[in-house]
Amino acid sequence: MSNLHKKRRQLVEYLIREGVLKSENVIKAFLKVPREEFVLPEYRNSAYEDHPLPIPKGQTISAPHMCAMMCELLAIEEGCNILEIGTGSGYHAALCAEITSPTDSPTSGYVISVEYFPELAEYAKNNLARAGYDDRVHVLVCDGSSGVPTFRKFDRILVTAAAPCIPSYLLELLNAPGRLVIPVGSTFYQVLTLVEKDREGNVRESKMGGCIFVPLLGKYGYRENTY
């Protein structure tokens, strides 16, 4: 087993011990997706440390425990169609793809991930291709604070940047039943918020604890260079 492979296993064991990773399908995805392909080359050896790392355009790849918490809250099932706002490195999108459409079974669900910076969308596309997820993750460039260029609805939605509030269009894009996870708050501190939509379309919001993400930019986010 290679050194990085061993470190990946150790990180997964740590996240299980800490009670963050719980579900078999999420654990399987964490064991499968190579985080080293999503970090900058100079951070390859730190890929399995449990903290965020810098990526281009002053953004970050989230800490593994945060990706794990969000995947667990989303309760992704095989075949779910997923929307991510904030592609960044593409790592979290690859995890979602591995859960909804596992590498070892016929492709079913898909992930659409949108990114504000074209340079990062390119970065993520390259990472996803190297890791083998470019067939299941579609990366688009747009301002995900105000809308996405699709008429499809999604079973699961994740926002991986700090939002001042829940963009109302996202609630409309969410299927019934469906789940949305989003960090809501200021640019310094947010509350990870779970929105559950039931079969009848009733929406329930739960606060799942504090977190810190980079700001959501764009029309209904925070203005670039003002935070």
Kindly state whether residue 183 participates in binding ligand SAH, applying the rule CB under 6 A: no
Q: How far is the CB of 223 from ligand SAH (least distance, A)?
A: 11
Site for ligand SAH (CB under 6 A): how many residues? Answer: 27
Dihedral sign from CA coordinates of 22, 78, 212, 168: negative
Scanning 6-14, 18-26, 28-36, 83-91 for contacts with ligand SAH by CB under 6 A, the matching segment is 83-91
Nearer to ligand SAH, 106 or 149 (CB): 149
Report residue 9 as tokens: 């296993």
Are 145 and 169 in contact by the 8 Å Cβ rule? The answer is no
Q: Is 148 in the site for ligand SAH (CB under 6 A)?
A: no
DSSP state of 128: H
Work out which of 126, 143, 208, 212 binds ligand SAH, going by CB under 6 A. 143
Reading the block at residue 203, the tokens are 């929406």
Cβ density class 66-88: b for 16+ within 10 Å, e for less: bbbbbbbbbbbeeebbbbbbbbb
Residue among 30, 91, 133, 154 that touches ligand SAH (CB under 6 A): 91
Q: Which is nearer to ligand SAH, 41 or 106 (CB)?
A: 41
Under a CB-based contact definition with an 8 Å cutoff, are residues 192 and 166 in contact?
A: no
Nearest approach in angstroms of CB 121 to ligand SAH is 9
Residues 36-65 that bind ligand SAH (CB under 6 A): 57, 59-62
160 binds ligand SAH (CB under 6 A): yes
Taking the least distance from each CB to ligand SAH, the nearer of 64 and 102 is: 64
Neighbours of 21 (CB within 10 A): 25
CA distance 186 to 213: 10
146 an active-site residue? no
Q: Which residue from 84, 64, 69 is spatially nearest to 210, judged by alpha carbons?
A: 69
Burial of 26-35, coded b for 16+ CB within 10 Å and e otherwise, reads bbbbbebbbb
Which residues does residue 180 pair with via DSSP β-bridges, in sequence order? 157, 195
Q: Which is nearer to ligand SAH, 74 or 216 (CB)?
A: 216
Minimum Å distance from CB 218 to ligand SAH? 3
Interaction of residue 85 with ligand SAH, rule CB under 6 A: yes
Catalytic residue annotation: 62
Contact residues for ligand SAH, defined by CB under 6 A: 57, 59-62, 85-89, 91-92, 114-117, 120, 143-145, 160-161, 214, 216-218, 221
